[in-house]
Amino acid sequence: METTYVMVKPDGVQRGLIGEIIGRFERKGLKLVGLKSVVPSKETAESHYAVHSERPFYPGLIEFVTSGPVVCMAWNGKDAIAVARTLIGATNGREAAPGTIRGDFGMDMGFNMIHGSDAAETAEFELGLWFPEGLMDWEQTITSWVYE
Ligand code: IDP
Ligand code: MG
């Protein structure tokens, strides 16, 4: 079992897609182990996207992600990191496959509504960054009907 960090970005919140996005992860069979909404600080946003700090779009990305509320989530399940990335779709909404979140709702690169960790190390780092208080440990009774 893995846990991944997923975040509805300010454009997803502004567009009223919080419920739609959470619903897709819930219906898939992932288990919610962290959920909150915050307006990210510049420091948190900068560490989150530190890997992109030399890219030309970085200043705009930091301004965008700190511009309003985001929804921070932690989802747990088998191969949760890859499963979440599959649900999310390709970075550019115009190229993302239909049926994915970005493919169904996005038309651009910067405004792509959602973030998902891309590997085990980044998931661990991002979960610690956004959920320093820790995650919820609970038994979900449907699990035995999700995994055979
Ligand atoms: P990902 O979110 O699919 O993992 P990354 O390449 O890691 O995509 O980029 C992180 C985020 O930076 C993207 O989700 C997007 O919001 C933003 N971004 C990436 N490339 C561009 C660009 O060329 N222009 C504007 N924003 C970009
Ligand atoms: Mg990425």
C-beta 117 within 6 A of ligand 1 = no
What is the best residue among 61, 70, 107 to mutate for testing ligand 1's pocket, by most ligand atoms within 8 Å of CB? 61
pTM, two decimal places? 0.98
Give tens-digit pLDDT for 85-129.
999 999 999 999 999 999 999 999 999 999 999 999 999 999 999
Q: What is the pLDDT of residues 73-85, one digit of tens each?
A: 999 999 999 999 9
Residues 6+ apart with CB under 8 A from 57: 110
Q: What is the mean pLDDT of the chain?
A: 98
pLDDT-derived band at 4, boundaries 50, 70, 90: very high
> What local confidence, expressed as pLDDT, does residue 97 receive?
98
Closest CA to 146 of 85, 78, 83, 86: 78
